[in-house]
Structure 1
Amino acid sequence: MQYRAVIKQTEGWWIGWLIDLPGVNAQEKTREELMESLRIGAQEMLETNVPFEPGFIMEKLDVPEPEWA
């Protein structure tokens, strides 16, 4: 799976977040460390067991992969 990351270097830090997974963000000293932190954050979010109230179900939705620049 691929997710879009917005990253920027500012004041000696790399900051970034995933557009497709709100809440996954990171700040690291190097670009490589930032990308790894975002990967770990995405994996942890996707593995999180989400409790549901009675009557709700979880569905998977297939969406075609876009061509990202």
Structure 2
Amino acid sequence: MDTFTAIIHQEGEFFVALCPQTGTVSQGKSIEEAITNLKEATELYLEEFPAPHHSRSLITTFEVASIAAQ
């Protein structure tokens, strides 16, 4: 069993989940549904394109100065 990363953001009423290691994307009306759908999409992808062993991703945040509208 391998561990993959899910990056999730909200678009309107849906949560969009992305797996950066495979590029697979899915969505759902809840975070849990988005992750479940992403897991299914990733499993299907890996059946066709087996992934070599990968290291875990490092996820972090950073700040960018906002430019106020003039």
So what's the TM-score if we normalise by structure 1? 0.65
Pairing 1:33–2:29 present: no
| 1:16 corresponds to | 17
Give unpaired runs (5+ residues) of structure 2.
61-70
- Seen in structure 2, the aligned counterparts of structure 1 residues 32 and 64 have a Cα distance that, compared at 3 Å, is closer
Structure 1: gaps (5+ residues): 51-59
Asked if structure 1 preserves the Cα contact closer than 8 Å seen for 2:27 and 2:38, the reply is no
Identity %: 17
Q: CA deviation at 1:16?
A: 1.5
Inter-partner Cα distance in structure 1 for 2:58 and 2:14: 29
Aligned-residue CA RMSD in angstroms?
Answer: 2.6
Q: Output the CA distance in 1 between the equivalents of 2:56 and 2:41.
A: 21
- Higher relative contact order, structure no. (Cα contacts within 8 Å, ≥ 6 residues apart): 2
SS at match of 2:45: helix
